[in-house]
Amino acid sequence: MRLKLGEIVPRPLDVVPVVALVFFEPSTRTRFSFEMAAQRLGVKTVSFVADASTSVAKGESLHETLQTLIAMRPDLLVVRHSGDRAVEYLLKTTATPIINAGNGVEEHPTQALLDAMTIFERKKKLEGEKILFIGDVEHSRVARSDRSLFLKMGAEVAVCAPKRFAPKTLDWLETKQFSSLSEGLKWCTVCVGLRIQKERHQNVESGVSNEYIENFRLDKKNLSNLNSEAIIMHPGPFVDGVDLNHEILNDPRCVIHEQVTNGVYMRMAVMGDIFGVSYS
Ligand code: NCD
C-alpha cells in the first residue's frame, strides 16, 4: 500500500510507538528528559542531532532533513530548532503529532509546564505568586512560555533586566519592571534566573561586564534579599559565575534540580496523553 505524506500510518495496537527526537540546536536536559520519559512510558525513540555525522553537514537544508525524517513516519516528533521559517511551516502543515521542544526565541511549552509543576509542588498554588524573571528576558523562549502559562494560572509576573535584555515584544508591554535586583528579589516569591542567549543576539551587545554580574547574578550576596519562603529557579544550562554562582545550588530555596526531575514526569504526561498510555 502506498501512503501519501501526511496520512496516518495504520499500525496494529501491539506495535510500540516510535518517537523521533529531532534537535537542530544543542540540548542536554530537554532531549535527555524526553528520552527518559519515553523509556519510562515504554515507547521507543530515535534521535537526530544536527551534527557532523548527518547530511546537514553535507549542505542539506533543515527543511529537507525534517521532511525526510517525517517520511519515515514516526508516531510523534519532538522538535527543537532555531526559528527557521521553512521548518516552522513544515511543522504547521504535517499531520504527524509534534511537541515543540523550543523554537527560536518564541516558545518552550514543556519547560513552562514543568516550571509550573515545580512551583505548584513547593508553593501548593500558582495563583497570587509573584514571579520575577532576571537577565536576558528578551531572547528567552522559556520566559515567554512561562509568562503566558503563569498569567493564565493567576500569578503576577515581573522582569529585572538591563536595557539591552529587557523584553521589547508586545506580549511583555505591561509587565512590571524592576531596575534594582534587590527590590525585585524583595518583591517576588519565585525568582527565575536566565542564561544570556548569545546565540540569538543580533544587534545587541552579548558581552558580560562586571556591572552585569554585580546587578543580575544569582549569588549568595544578591539572594540575601530574597524571602526565606521564596524559591530560586533556572531552566538550565547555567553559566557558573555569570547568571548564577554554583554556591546557590545548596540553598534550600533552590529548586533547579527539582525542575529537571519534574521535566521527565511532565513529558511522560504529555506524551502519555498523545499515546493514550499512563504510568503509575
Ligand atoms: C533553555 C532553552 O533551550 O531554551 N534550556 C532548556 O531547555 N532547559 C534555556 C537556555 O538554553 O538557556
Report which ligand 1 atom has the smallest distance to the Cα of 140: 4
Average pLDDT of 37-63? 91
CA of 266 to the centre of ligand 1 (A): 16
Distance between Cα 197 and ligand 1 center (Å): 9
Distance 194 CA to ligand 1 centre (A): 9
Nearest CA to ligand 1 atom 12: 195
Ligand 1 pocket test: pick from 142, 195, 264, 267 the residue with the most ligand atoms within 8 Å of its Cβ: 142
Q: What is the model's pLDDT at position 154?
A: 98
Read off the pLDDT of each residue in 102-109 and give the average, rounded to a whole number. Answer: 97
CA angle (247 as vertex; 259, 143 as ends), nearest 5: 40
Return mean pLDDT, the chain: 93
Q: What share of the chain has pLDDT > 70, as a percent?
A: 94
The answer to whether residue 14 scores a pLDDT higher than 60 is yes
pLDDT tens string 149-160: 999 999 999 999
Predicted pLDDT at 6: 55
Instruction: Judge whether residue 5 has pLDDT over 70.
Output: no
Dump pLDDT digits (tens) for 244-257: 999 999 999 999 99
* 162 cis-preceded (ω within 30 degrees of 0): no
Average of per-residue pLDDT across 69-96: 95
Q: What is the Å distance from ligand 1's center to 65 Cα?
A: 23
Query: Mean of the pLDDT values across residues 137-147?
Result: 97
Instruction: State the distance from the centre of ligand 1 to the C-alpha of 236, rounded, in angstroms.
Output: 6
Best residue for ligand 1 mutational test, from 29, 103, 108, 198 (most atoms within 8 Å of Cβ): 108
User: Which is higher by pLDDT, 150 or 280?
Assistant: 150
pTM, 2 dp: 0.93
Q: Which residues line ligand 1 (CB under 6 A)?
A: 29-30, 102, 108, 111, 141-142, 195, 197, 235-236
Give long-range contacts, CB 8 A cutoff, 24+ apart: 143-146.
Answer: 143/167, 143/192, 143/194, 144/105, 144/106, 144/107, 144/108, 144/169, 144/171, 145/107, 145/108, 145/109, 145/111, 145/112, 146/111, 146/112, 146/115, 146/116, 146/192
Residue 47: CA count within 13 A, CB half-sphere: 16
Q: With bands split at pLDDT 50, 70 and 90, how would you rate the model's confidence at 81?
A: very high
pLDDT in tens, 187-202: 999 999 999 999 999 8
The pLDDT-based confidence of 50 (bands split at 50, 70, 90) is: confident
pLDDT of residue 9: 54
pLDDT of residue 234: 98
